[in-house]
């Protein structure tokens, strides 16, 4: 063999795996976490975007639906004037003890000035309350009837007594159920005398005043005869106002109301022949009759005032005194005058 002969290199070994291929002995590519994560991301990417976009679209539709629902509720509850000029019956609930006239007066004014509200129904379930508060609502009812030319009807549910009846008497008509409690025309004044408690605790209430009747009604001692006569004169005067205002509202005379002004109550069935109400019937009858009387046919649409704020936002916006009563209110010991059935 010649000395300059060089043998060729041996051929590569058959079936040698490429340097870049993953080992087949590692199923799922567990030995290569980065490679596996990339593959999983590629598999999930399409669904991720579908879910994200779909969720965003659903959220937008939800917000739009809530907005439309809120607008419709605002229109239906009478908190804003109806932009659709739909004839409605305004309904104002007067429930519980009447101590503040402002809320009801505000609702009456709003409904009175709203052209879409053709009439107002006072849905009453109250034993009455403060004399001045009841009287103030009474006069506001008369004003709205006269100035805004709105028909106002009272519908007594379970109780429409004393100050609540005072308010109802200002309406065009009064409805009550057969078993409703109506009447209690009268005045009551009351407070708590804790003089014996102070004496038991060996405490003394010291009052310095100018004016003989300045401390009349001091709950730490008994009334003098002169003080009793003084308070009785106030109660009698309020009683006269009550009788007269009911007579005016019911289009009759004081002499016809006075025999009924004994402080007692009657059922709705008993009240009709006495002239204290105009018709026996519940809220539904009062609503339909009122709607027909102002030219609304079919099912009457009802508008109610916006409800009070509730939840955390309402709590944060509420008066601090509602959460933490002012200690000075605990010292409020003034006698109270009430048109209230007890």
pLDDT above 60 (res 333): no
Residue range 87-306+325-340, CATH number = 3.90.226.10
pLDDT above 80 (res 272): yes
pLDDT digits (tens, 9 = 90+) for 128-142: 999 999 999 999 999
pLDDT averaged over every residue in the chain? 80
In DSSP terms, which residues pair with 51 in a beta bridge? none
Closest to 101 (Cα-Cα) out of 176, 155, 183, 164: 164
Higher pLDDT, 224 or 25: 224
**Highest-confidence range of 68-77, 125-134, 326-335, by mean pLDDT?**
125-134
List CB contacts of 218: < 8 A, sequence separation 6 or more.
Answer: 205, 207, 333
Extents of the domains making up the chain: 27-67, 87-306+325-340
Q: In what order do the strands lie in the sheet with 336-340?
A: 128-130, 336-340, 188-190
Confidence of residue 4 (pLDDT cuts 50, 70, 90): low
Q: Exactly one of 126, 162, 169, 220 is catalytic; name it.
A: 162
pLDDT-wise least confident of 83-87, 180-184, 327-331: 327-331
pLDDT digits (tens, 9 = 90+) for 315-326: 445 555 544 445
Higher pLDDT, 37 or 171: 171
| Residue 38: strand, helix, or coil | helix
pLDDT digits (tens, 9 = 90+) for 206-226: 888 888 888 787 787 888 899
Q: Exactly one of 45, 56, 214, 226 is catalytic; name it.
A: 214
| Residue 120: strand, helix, or coil | strand
Higher pLDDT, 61 or 4: 61
pTM: 0.69
Closest to 86 (Cα-Cα) out of 97, 75, 96: 75
pLDDT above 70 (res 242): yes
Active site residue 184: no
First to last CA, the chain: 138
Mean pLDDT for 161-182 is 96
Please return the burial class of 337, using the count of CB atoms within 10 Å of its CB with bins 0-12, 13-18 and 19+: middle
pLDDT digits (tens, 9 = 90+) for 190-207: 878 887 788 898 888 788
Higher pLDDT, 233 or 3: 233
Residue 7's alpha-carbon distances to 12, 13, 14, in angstroms, are: 15, 18, 20
Q: What does 258-290 look like in DSSP terms, one character per residue?
A: GGG-SS-EEEHHHHHHHTS-SEE--HHHHHHHH
Active site residue 214: yes
Q: Distance from CA of residue 309 to its chain's centroid?
A: 8
pLDDT-wise least confident of 45-59, 87-101, 105-119: 45-59
């Amino acid at each position: 063999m010649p000395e300059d002969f060089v043998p060729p290199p041996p051929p590569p070994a058959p079936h040698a795996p490429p340097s870049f291929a993953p080992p087949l002995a590692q199923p799922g590519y567990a030995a290569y976490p980065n490679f596996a994560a990339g593959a999983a991301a590629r598999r999930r990417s399409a669904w991720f975007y579908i879910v994200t976009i779909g969720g965003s679209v659903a959220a937008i539709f939800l917000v739009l639906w809530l907005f439309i629902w809120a607008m419709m509720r605002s229109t239906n509850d009478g908190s804003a004037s109806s932009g659709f000029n739909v004839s409605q019956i305004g309904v104002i609930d007067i429930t519980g003890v009447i101590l503040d006239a402002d809320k009801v007066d505000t609702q009456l004014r709003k409904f009175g000035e709203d052209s879409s509200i053709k009439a107002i129904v006072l849905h009453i379930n109250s034993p009455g309350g403060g004399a001045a508060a009841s009287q103030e609502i009474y006069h506001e009812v008369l004003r709205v009837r006269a100035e805004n030319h709105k028909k106002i009807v009272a519908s007594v549910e379970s109780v429409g007594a004393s100050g609540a009846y005072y308010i109802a008497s200002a309406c065009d008509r009064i409805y009550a159920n057969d078993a409703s409690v109506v009447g209690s025309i009268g005045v009551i004044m009351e407070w708590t005398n804790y003089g014996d408690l102070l004496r038991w605790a060996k405490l003394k209430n010291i009052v310095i005043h100018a004016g003989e009747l300045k401390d009349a009604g001091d709950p730490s001692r008994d009334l003098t005869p002169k003080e009793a006569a003084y308070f009785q004169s106030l109660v009698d005067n309020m009683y006269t106002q009550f009788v007269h205002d009911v007579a005016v509202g019911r289009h009759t005379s004081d002499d016809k109301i006075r025999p009924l002004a004994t402080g007692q109550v009657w059922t709705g069935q008993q009240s009709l022949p006495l002239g204290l109400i105009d018709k026996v019937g519940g809220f539904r009858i009062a609503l339909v009759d009122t709607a027909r009387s102002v030219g609304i046919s079919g099912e009457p649409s009802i508008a109610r005032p916006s409800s009070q704020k509730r939840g955390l936002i309402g709590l944060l916006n509420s008066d601090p005194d509602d959460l933490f009563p002012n200690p000075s209110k605990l010292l409020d010991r003034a006698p109270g005058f009430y048109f209230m059935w007890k």
